[in-house]
Structure 1
Amino acid sequence: MTPETVSVAPTFIEVDGTRIATLHQPGDNPGLVWLGGYRSDMRGTKAEALAGYAHEHGLSFTRHDYSGHGESGGDFNQGTISRWLDESLAVFHALTQGPQILVGSSMGAWIALRMAQELQGEKGRVAGLVLIAPAPDFTSDLVAPKMTVEQKRDVAEKGFFAIPSEYSDQPYTYSRALLEDGEKNRLLTKPLDTHCPVHILQGLADPDVPHTHALKLVSHLPADDVTLTLVPNGDHRLSRPEDLALLAKTLSNMIRQISA
């Protein structure tokens, strides 16, 4: 981590009338692009560790807050995978050039995989994917199966349901719009082809995204060079010092691979 990455004010780009907060460190390629998780922000532990890694290695690093998150405008409860995907693509095109490694955590891994699909016409722009506790299709595969009768009623009558969060004083809310839009962005229904190397980091003690979900993702990537690292005692965040060291090692290995 470098002091300037903590204190610097964000710059904003407008996407569909909403101000999206961004941070960009110039540097060499392949650049790094951070895609955070549900209700996270771009100044979290892993993002700051990536900023330090990029600074140390002279790489560009780009990050942003989705609408309704962190320093961006917008209403969180109006957010959907499609909306956050569009914002991420807008930031990608506005602030990056050349090959980039997309680093996505949890929901951010879903966004990263969808970005790789949307950017396939721009050959070489997505050089690699590093996915941390990836949660593609979490609305249909992880949230919906656990919904209670009361929660389903809340969605029908209120348009959302809420559950306590282990990571915040504020509860997690899941809107009808998010759940319905998730269906339009499902990935784990057919084989995927990202046209780039993929490295997945998954904790075996993750209470939110089980390691079986990462195995399911791997099974849908038959054509890609995929590495899965299972982290004993690793939780969902994978933000311990040893986890961050593993992330740095993973990035260095991928950069050597794609630069060979």
Structure 2
Amino acid sequence: MTTSPLNQPAMLTVGKGDQSRDIAILARSAGRRGQGTTLLWLGGYRSDMTGTKAAELDALAGELGIAAIRFDYSGHGISGGAFRDGTISRWLEEALAVVDHVKPKRVLLVGSSMGCWIALRLVQELKKRKKAPQLDGLVLIAPAPDFTAELIEPSLTNVQRQSLSERGYFEEHSAYSPEPNIYTRDLIEDGRKNLVMTGIIETGCPVHILQGMKDPDVPYSHALKLLEFLPADDVVLTLIRDGDHRLSRPQDIEKMRATVRSLLIND
């Protein structure tokens, strides 16, 4: 990992050969009186570590004097690699590499949308290891685990299926960017290998879910379905009646901050 000036991202090389890509990381060190927990932000599809929620989480860590980690998946933000090469397995590999490099003793994972899927897979992979950071909690914002199989594949049009077959991807209008969303055949096929809502998900820690009821991208019924696979954990679901998918309004940010604080206080 290369060194960088204060508040400038450092670069971590992940993968070898033609799979090598540089992942940009912003890491905040804990203050002298900070707790041992490190906040780890896992962003959504096509989002980056400078987004509102990611920045607010980092600011909260600064106020509390604890460590925080943000990073851009390959093909996102200022990280290397092509977006169209991205898959859940590839982005999970990068999340694991970041954890392995920073080596936090304890972590609280905060994921948004697709980042919640990465977070749940990260938990599964860390639980396989003899030496792994203690998981202090999960905060899942507008969670979209298994979205390729649960939300995309069932609604594919004939035109989109043909595009996937012939071009290896299809495009879809984005409400958040002038550029269309791109979903590749590799992403969808790899998604089937990373499904988490197929059996009991054992996190071994408190789980707090924040979900908007006016989310046009991930319906709140998806969050309710996720609850069915988390029966063994201390799970709290907060439905925000007028909340959208981003949940980036001041009142939404305050809910995120309060949720993270509650997990730290109960630690």
With structure 2 as the length reference, what TM-score do the two structures score? Answer: 0.92
CA shift in 2, pair 1:79/1:123, >3 Å: closer
Match of 1:119 among 126, 130, 141: 126
Deviation at 1:232, TM superposition (A): 1.2
Q: Which residue of structure 2 lines up, in the alignment, with residue 21 of structure 1?
A: 24
Deviation at 1:125, TM superposition (A): 2.3
Deviation at 1:189, TM superposition (A): 1.2
CA RMSD of aligned residues (A): 1.0
Match of 1:191 among 183, 197, 200: 200
SS at match of 1:119: helix
Deviation at 1:96, TM superposition (A): 3.7
Q: Which residue of structure 1 lines up, in the alignment, with residue 104 of structure 2?
A: 97
Deviation at 1:124, TM superposition (A): 4.9
In the alignment, the residues of structure 2 paired with residue 89 and residue 125 of structure 1 have an alpha-carbon distance, to the nearest angstrom, of: 14
Paired amino acid for 1:249: A
In the alignment, the residues of structure 2 paired with residue 9 and residue 51 of structure 1 have an alpha-carbon distance, to the nearest angstrom, of: 14
Deviation at 1:139, TM superposition (A): 0.1
Q: Which residue of structure 2 lines up, in the alignment, with residue 201 of structure 1?
A: 210
Paired amino acid for 1:181: D
In the alignment, the residues of structure 2 paired with residue 244 and residue 141 of structure 1 have an alpha-carbon distance, to the nearest angstrom, of: 27
Deviation at 1:79, TM superposition (A): 0.4
Q: Quick check: 2:86–2:187 contact (8 Å CA) kept in 1?
A: yes
Q: For structure 2, which runs of at least 5 residues remain unmatched after alignment? A: 1-5
With structure 1 as the length reference, what TM-score do the two structures score? Answer: 0.95
Report the number of matched residues: 252
| 1:70-149 equivalences in 2 (<5 Å) | 70-120=77-127, 121=129, 122=131, 124-149=133-158
Deviation at 1:133, TM superposition (A): 0.3
CA shift in 2, pair 1:78/1:129, >3 Å: same
Match of 1:220 among 215, 229, 253: 229
SS at match of 1:67: coil
| 1:228-247 equivalences in 2 (<5 Å) | 228-247=237-256
Q: Name segments (4+ residues, structure 1) moved above 4 Å.
A: none
Pair 1:69-2:68 in alignment: no
In the alignment, the residues of structure 1 paired with residue 133 and residue 22 of structure 2 have an alpha-carbon distance, to the nearest angstrom, of: 29
SS at match of 2:261: helix
Deviation at 1:123, TM superposition (A): 5.3
In the alignment, the residues of structure 1 paired with residue 171 and residue 135 of structure 2 have an alpha-carbon distance, to the nearest angstrom, of: 35
Q: Quick check: 1:119–1:125 contact (8 Å CA) kept in 2?
A: no
In the alignment, the residues of structure 1 paired with residue 132 and residue 244 of structure 2 have an alpha-carbon distance, to the nearest angstrom, of: 35
Deviation at 1:152, TM superposition (A): 0.2
